[in-house]
Amino acid sequence: MKTKIIAQSAKNMPWEPRPAGNNEIVWRYSGNPIIGRNATPSTARVFNSALVPYGDGFVGVFRADDIYTMMRVHLAHSKDGINWELEDKPIQWVDEQGKPYQPHYAYDPRLVKIEDTYYIMWCTSFGYNPTIGMGYTKDFKTFTRIENAFLPFNRNGVLFPRKINGNYVMLSRPSDNGHTPFGDIFISESPDLVYWGKHRKVMAATEGWQHLKIGAGPIPIETNEGWLMIYHGVLHTCNGYVYSFGAALLDLEEPSKVLYRSEPYMLTPEADYETIGFVPNVAFPCSALVDTDDGRIAIYYGAADTHIAVAFGYVDEIIDWLKKNSKLYHGDDTIGRD
Ligand code: BMA
């Protein structure tokens, strides 16, 4: 393996080799989708979800829209990363004083371990408007909410897995209160996860599959070549939005600077479970597992706002592909202050 990866390694992650004759940069798991409609009595659809290695298996925070069509985040456990036991009741939060503190709604969670703490970011209701909610747990039993990171309207808050130059760093995508027909990726820093500043623009929506808006997906993966950021891009068609995903490499010390950015998508909705569902044509990645020894990667993505699906690849191949298929746009390679 050429690339050095610094991440929580997932030795026993699910895996299937690339099928014979397949030339795609990532390939779909043959058992997709892995979870879907009516998984528990209270949950109607389980999709854009995040997980990490935990104990001898995996733990996840799963987006589940309930039988009232409200967005909730539930805890889930798995031994193999494929078969999940989802709790029927949403995660119960407390505030920093230990009092119950439930979000009115919560969706599209991300999950990251920093030192001995697991941080969860999600799109939360803040005065009934969306922004980035945050909380943490150390044991997946007590879940403590901290201050919302940003003002409304914002979505797709994704924390880096370590401090950079002494500060926590988070990607986000300022939005509106609806189905947001615009959106670029920004980055912010904080010394304490309470006060956020030093805002920079990372990259903008551009053309084709990523012409309408873009948003960060899984927690960025640290490599010796830069931060590997998998992100979704949206195309506006006459029949609605189409969510695909691609990748970029961001500078290690100054991640507002884009080194490479994929001009083609890595994966676009093609399988039935991606093109048919509650919201057709959505592939929305929120999480990835990597084996740091051999560079295997498993990308977990929501499919059609109805299912969770998995795609496999190699970090080495993704980085080579990125270098060959990169197109930087105006401002991508500069520090985005203007
Ligand atoms: C976005 C979010 C995602 C969803 C996507 C497609 O605005 O709501 O949760 O997957 O739209 O419906």
Supply the pLDDT for residue 182.
Answer: 97
Q: Determine the distance separating the centroid of ligand 1 and the alpha carbon of 47, expressed in angstroms.
A: 10
Q: Take atom 12 of ligand 1 and give the residue whose Cα is closest.
A: 279
| Model pLDDT, residue 36 | 86
Give SS3 for 316: helix
Rounded Cα–Cα distance for residues 242 and 75 (Å): 28
Nearest CA, atom 9, ligand 1: 108
User: Phi first, then psi: what are they for 275, rounded to 5°?
Assistant: -100, -15
What is the model's pLDDT at position 203?
97
Distance between CA atoms of residues 144 and 51, nearest Å: 18
Residue 231's nearest CA partner among 189, 278, 186, 180 is 186
Nearest CA to ligand 1 atom 10: 305
Exposure class string for 112-131: b at 16+ Cβ within 10 A, else e: bebeeebbbbbbbbbeeebb
Residues having CB within 6 Å of any atom of ligand 1: 48, 107-108, 179, 243, 279, 282, 284, 302, 305
| Cis ω for the linkage preceding 33 (within 30 of 0) | yes
Contact (Cβ atoms closer than 8 angstroms) between residue 122 and residue 73: yes
Buried b / exposed e over 246-281, threshold 16 CB at 10 Å, is bbbbbebeebbbbbbbbbebbbbbebebbbebebbb
Within the chain, residue ranges assigned H as helices are 272-275, 315-324
Considering only CA atoms, which residue is closest to atom 7 of ligand 1? 179
pLDDT of residue 334: 82
Instruction: Return the closest-CA partner of residue 45 out of 28, 63, 32, 57.
Output: 63
User: Residue 284 CA: which ligand 1 atom is closest?
Assistant: 10
If one residue of 179, 274, 286 were mutated to test the ligand 1 pocket, choosing by the most ligand atoms within 8 A of its CB, it would be: 179
Query: What 3-state DSSP class applies to 65?
Result: strand
User: What's the pLDDT score for residue 63?
Assistant: 98
Of the candidates 166, 196, 184, 194, the residue with the CA atom closest to the CA atom of residue 248: 184
Distance CA 165, CA 309 (A): 35
b/e for 80-99, b at 16 or more Cβ within 10 A? ebbebebbeebbebeeeeee
Index of the ligand 1 atom closest to the CA of residue 107: 9
pLDDT digits (tens, 9 = 90+) for 61-79: 999 999 999 999 999 999 9
Shortest-distance atom of ligand 1 to CA 175: 7
pLDDT, position 331: 82
Q: Which of 279, 286, 307 to mutate to test the pocket of ligand 1 (most atoms within 8 A of CB)?
A: 279
pLDDT tens digits, one per residue of 176-214: 999 999 999 999 999 999 999 999 999 999 999 999 999
* pLDDT given for residue 318 in this prediction: 98
Low-confidence ranges of the chain (pLDDT < 50): none
Residue 332: predicted pLDDT: 86
How many whole angstroms from 97 Cα to the centroid of ligand 1?
Answer: 32
Q: In the prediction, which pLDDT does 235 show?
A: 98
